[in-house]
Amino acid sequence: MTAPIPVGALAPDFVLRDQNNQEVGLAALRAQGPVLLVFFPLAFTGTCEGELGYLRDNLPQFEAAGLSIVGLSVGPPPTHKVWSSAQGFLFPILADFWPHGGVAAEYGVFDAERGIPNRGTFVVDADGTVVFSAMVGPGEARTEETWAAALAALTPDS
């Protein structure tokens, strides 16, 4: 298993298409404040739905902290459109489709053997620095503690 980029690293910039086939770039998101990047293996899977559903259900908590949430996976925008509409995900779901898993690889969370990203979680501050970095491997799910730690990374005295 690869290692995610560490806290203190400069976050690789990217521009990918969201579920509405619109370009979304990290630099533009950072201009509005810190960003929570949530890499997930595949749409239409129970664990991924549960994790992104947690974010959907707790969106006000993340927005209150000034975070923009972005999901990233290797599926194409039309697949993400159907899935995000069915699940009520109001945040961008980005297609790291081509080059396949290229952004996930830059963040150190791409599983080349399986062709999908591991569950990488990053908080990137407005300056582009990674202030939170975590990853769990195949078959593991992020816990509420992961989300709490990501939020706490924005508080200087945490």
* Blockwise average pLDDT, block size 10, the chain, 158 residues: 91 98 97 97 86 94 94 95 94 96 97 95 97 91 94 77
The owner of tokens 């770039």 is 25
Q: What are the structure tokens assigned to 103, written together? A: 């952004």
Mention every residue, 6+ apart, whose C-beta is less than 8 A from residue 153.
Answer: 7, 123, 131, 132
Fold for domain 15-132+143-152? Glutaredoxin (3.40.30)
Q: How many CB atoms lie within 10 A of CB 79?
A: 18
**What is the pLDDT at residue 156?**
64
Known catalytic residues are: 48
Q: Where are the domains of the chain?
A: 15-132+143-152
pTM of the model: 0.94
**What is the pLDDT at residue 158?**
44
**What is the pLDDT at residue 157?**
55
The owner of tokens 């699940």 is 87
